[in-house]
Structure 1
Amino acid sequence: MEQDYMRRIVLREHDPPRAANIELLSRTARFALDRGFHVILKGIMSARRYGEMLSGLHLDHAGRSFFYYLDVSWTETVRRHSTRPQFKEFGVEDMRGWFGDAGPLDAVPETRIAESSTLEETVARIRAEAFACQSGAR
């Protein structure tokens, strides 16, 4: 579930503190998790705005949870954004504030993914961890 989609499209909301999208993300993730679905929650989620919600999901979920921080420089973020369909919806200046607000979370165990990791390597790593979880490994 994309944080941007829920916030910008479903709620037509900017990202102020205590925004409605935070509760919607939490409830949607909990709904799916409670019914045995896997959930991928994706977005730029600053600790200041989203940390409490993410920590709550982590603590309340009986299964394994994985959190990843894509440790990517500003220059690389801008380059990657230029290849996305959303490129025309919001630009570099819009992203500058989000980027400055981003950073690792303290409230959950988070794995850093280096900028040098390719898309294929990143996907393979996450899939390997998820499959290990499904086979009963901890």
Structure 2
Amino acid sequence: MSQLVVIRGNSGSGKSTLAAEVQRGMGRGTANVGQDHLRRVILREHDVAGGDNIAFIRETVRYCVGIGYHVILEGILYEPHYGEMVRQLVAEHPGPTHVFYLDVPLEETLRRHEGRNMSVSPDKLREWYKPLDLLGVPGEITIEAGPDLADLTAYVLERIGPVQPLGRHFGTAQFL
């Protein structure tokens, strides 16, 4: 059965980096569905309640699961805008689900953004920051800031457990 892994947290908490490492650790047959890519790049949409990206994210996750992939869904996924959709995905997923929230203090978020090539002001980051924006789903794990990436990845992969490659084409030349 496919695994559904949700990685959430504030801007600069390390979600995208962690999701990429977890995807490598889970192996082929794991799709990494990033909120920012679908919302900002594909749709060029602002993060608003009822935005088109919410259904787009939901259907992308469903599609990937439906064709036999494990799925990592990562993003800020602000609970008032995305909570219902993520809870629905978790509830309907036929296999194991894992929900992680990366809890990084505002000061660390601001520090991490200093080294990024982004046009977001510290005031805007303060406005966006929502402490412990949890979904309240069973088994949701909050991970406090501190562990390095290797330790954090190992922790998440240990919680997920052994993963079997899924999908239709894994092991063929097109994926080498």
- TM-score, normalised to structure 1's length? 0.85
Give CA deviations for 1:24-70 in whole Å, capped at 9, x if unaligned.
10000010011221111111112111110001100111001111111
Tell me if structure 2 keeps the 8 A contact 1:70–1:113.
yes
More helix by share: 1
2:76 counterpart letter in structure 1: I
Matched, 1:111 2:111: no
| Alignment-derived partner of residue 30 in structure 1 | 62
1:58 counterpart letter in structure 2: V
Identity among equivalent positions (%) equals 34
More strand by share: 2
Q: For structure 2, list consecutive stretches of 5 or more residues without a partner in the other structure.
A: 1-32, 165-176
2:93 counterpart letter in structure 1: H
Moved more, 60-69 or 90-99: 90-99
2:152 counterpart letter in structure 1: T
Matched, 1:121 2:151: yes
| C-alpha distance in 2 between matches for 1:130 and 1:35 | 20
| Alignment-derived partner of residue 5 in structure 1 | 37
Moved more, 75-84 or 38-47: 75-84
- TM-score, normalised to structure 2's length? 0.68
Tell me if structure 2 keeps the 8 A contact 1:72–1:115.
yes
CA RMSD between the two structures: 1.8
Structure 1 residue 108: deviation in Å?
Answer: 4.9
Structure 1 residue 101: deviation in Å?
Answer: 7.3
Moved more, 51-60 or 124-133: 124-133
Aligned length: 132
Tell me if structure 2 keeps the 8 A contact 1:58–1:108.
no
Tell me if structure 1 keeps the 8 A contact 2:54–2:82.
yes
- Match among 96, 99, 117 for residue 64 of structure 1: 96
| C-alpha distance in 1 between matches for 2:137 and 2:160 | 21
| C-alpha distance in 1 between matches for 2:115 and 2:150 | 16
Give CA deviations for 1:67-116 in whole Å, capped at 9, x if unaligned.
111111001111222334xx324332332232137611124531011112
Q: For structure 1, list consecutive stretches of 5 or more residues without a partner in the other structure.
A: none
Greater relative contact order structure (CA < 8 Å, 6+ sep): 2
After superposition, the Cα gap between the structure-2 partners of 1:32 and 1:22, relative to the gap in structure 1 and judged at 3 Å, is same
